[in-house]
């Protein structure tokens, strides 16, 4: 892995030296270029990428600034599969603002700090999971692997330096396997890794959202390891080149204001937001909504202390993959700009910072069980094909009944979502492992999770999805 990163970093250095060091403002045209690196398919960054672009919030705010200043802003969106090429372009001073996952953020801070014009700072969060469920390991549908330890000696596809690879390294270490020798990691971009898994060139794929959910939804994989098993926070965030922000503070402020616009829109209109993201990314709307819907990713821009501490805990990962310069995380993280954005909206940043509940949660009245939906750890959601709204379910049993009744009425279920009983991760109901315990039917997103439950609850047993549908009362 170190050889791989040595080659990558050499290429980045050459690109940086070759880059033109031009101010982003053209004096002749009085136009400011704003170059944004984003990942359309990394849907925990959509409030700083795909959704933000689709809604035009940034362009609107910059246009308003231009009306009074006479300056025109030329916004350029550059789409990438992972965070690594965004960092390479920021080192080369060719991208001004970028969004990526936590491990790539560390690499970004480490690699840009040697050049004052390229040096970046982390200014906001896009989405996060307090347990780490944003990254997962999947295997082929016919795989006999039941836990991460079953991958010992196997080939695993991952994008080295990505959040998905970081989760794999942590998971292997927690399982007592040496991350350097326990498995053979093939450094591949997500689309290449997905093809490699399908063609049996690798036995597993470790990636960030939305790749695990996409492959499972397409029946090309099943979940082996939920990152939430590690109980370690993961997040995605926004970095800006400090030199650019000092030249154009109004652009950074407009960007963060626009990100807040997009965050509020997503949390208030999750289904509509999912359609926009699906259109902009090419992902199925059902997969986007798995993560961007209520109870999925927590979309919250604040730089929570728990996330900053988690980032510090990830620093040893840098040393495991290459010769990276030490990064002072406290010096890399700055909440000045996002605090200013909150203040401009008369919103209390410290109150939002202290909040831990997911801003988007299922609410309403369960029409099947006729009870209020109150517990996010149990609440599910049913999406009937042809309808532009979804219906909430108070608990897994009520969701199963709703699915069964929809079928009885000739309605097609487009998607049904339910939280994992052990970890709380939002997952597809029909892809879950169901356990019968008395009269209750409980969903788990992996075989390992269901196994831990049945081992601790004598008399409980694993049943298939159809048995759960038929038996729910």
Instruction: Inform me whether the pLDDT recorded for 29 exceeds 70.
Output: no
SS3 for 386?
coil
Q: What's the CATH superfamily of 2-130+233-354? A: Periplasmic binding protein-like II (3.40.190.10)
Instruction: Inform me whether the pLDDT recorded for 361 exceeds 70.
Output: yes
Q: What's the CATH superfamily of 135-230? A: Periplasmic binding protein-like II (3.40.190.10)
396-417 residues labelled b (16+ CB within 10 A) or e (exposed)? bbbbbbbbbebeeeeeebbbbb
SS3 for 69?
helix
pLDDT at 25 (0 to 100): 52
pLDDT at 323 (0 to 100): 83
Range 16-30 average pLDDT:
48
For 331-458, where are the E strands, in sequence order? 365-366, 371-372, 380-384, 391-393, 413-419, 426-428, 433-437, 440-444
Instruction: Indicate left, alpha or beta for 358 from its phi (over 0: left) and psi (-120 to 50: alpha).
Output: beta
**Within this chain, domains 2-130+233-354 and 135-230 share the same CATH topology:** yes
Range 421-447 average pLDDT:
98
CATH fold, domain 365-471, is Beta-Lactamase (3.30.450)
User: What are residue 422's phi and psi, to 5 degrees?
Assistant: -85, -45
Q: How far apart are CA 371 and CA 393, in angstroms?
A: 9
| In contact, 202 and 16? CB cutoff 8 Å | no
Q: How far apart are CA 68 and CA 81, in angstroms?
A: 37
pLDDT at 5 (0 to 100): 47
Which of the pair, 168 or 20, is modelled with greater confidence?
A: 168
pLDDT tens digits along 208-263: 999 999 999 999 999 999 999 999 999 999 999 999 999 999 999 999 999 999 99
Going from N- to C-terminal start, the domains of the chain cover 2-130+233-354, 135-230, 365-471
């Amino acid at each position: 892995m170190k050889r791989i990163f040595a080659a990558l970093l050499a290429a980045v250095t050459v690109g940086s030296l070759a880059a033109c060091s031009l101010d982003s403002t053209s004096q002749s045209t009085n136009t400011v270029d704003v170059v944004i690196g984003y990942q359309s398919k990394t849907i925990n960054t959509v409030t700083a990428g795909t959704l933000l672009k689709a809604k035009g919030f940034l362009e609107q705010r910059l246009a308003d600034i231009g009306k009074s200043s006479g300056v025109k802003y030329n916004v350029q969106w550059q789409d990438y599969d992972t965070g690594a090429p965004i960092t390479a372009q920021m080192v080369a001073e060719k991208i001004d603002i970028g969004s990526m996952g936590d491990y790539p953020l560390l690499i970004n801070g480490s690699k840009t700090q040697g050049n004052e014009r390229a040096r970046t700072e982390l200014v906001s969060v896009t989405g996060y999971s307090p347990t780490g469920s944003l990254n997962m390991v999947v295997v082929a549908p016919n795989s006999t692997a039941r836990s991460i330890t079953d991958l010992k000696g196997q080939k695993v596809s991952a994008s080295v330096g990505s959040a998905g690879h970081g989760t794999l390294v942590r998971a292997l270490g927690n399982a007592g396997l040496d991350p350097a020798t326990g498995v053979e990691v093939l450094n591949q971009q997500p689309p290449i890794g997905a093809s490699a898994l399908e063609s049996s060139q690798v036995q597993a794929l470790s990636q960030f959202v939305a790749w695990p959910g996409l492959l499972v939804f397409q029946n090309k994989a099943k979940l082996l390891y939920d990152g939430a098993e590690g109980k370690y926070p993961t997040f995605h965030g926004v970095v800006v080149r400090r030199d650019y922000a000092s030249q154009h503070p109004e652009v950074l402020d407009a960007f963060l204001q626009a990100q807040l616009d997009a965050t509020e829109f997503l949390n208030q209109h999750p289904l509509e937001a999912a359609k926009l993201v699906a259109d902009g990314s090419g992902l199925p709307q059902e997969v986007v909504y798995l993560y961007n819907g209520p109870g999925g990713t927590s979309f919250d821009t604040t730089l929570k202390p728990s996330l900053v501490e988690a980032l510090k805990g990830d620093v040893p990962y840098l040393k495991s993959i290459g010769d990276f310069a030490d990064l002072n995380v406290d010096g890399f993280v700055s909440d000045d700009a996002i605090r200013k954005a909150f203040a401009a909206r008369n919103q209390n940043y410290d109150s939002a910072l202290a909040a831990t509940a997911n801003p988007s949660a299922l609410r309403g009245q369960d029409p099947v069980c006729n009870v209020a939906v109150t517990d996010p750890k149990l609440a599910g959601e049913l999406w009937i094909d042809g309808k532009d709204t979804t219906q909430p379910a108070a608990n897994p049993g009520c969701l199963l009944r709703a699915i069964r009744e929809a079928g009885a009425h000739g309605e097609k279920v487009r998607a049904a979502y339910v939280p994992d009983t052990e970890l709380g991760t939002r997952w597809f109901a029909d892809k879950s492992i169901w356990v019968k315990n008395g009269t209750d039917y409980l969903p788990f997103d992996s075989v390992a999770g269901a196994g831990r439950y049945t081992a601790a609850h004598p008399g409980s047993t694993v049943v298939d999805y159809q048995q759960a549908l038929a038996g729910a009362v």
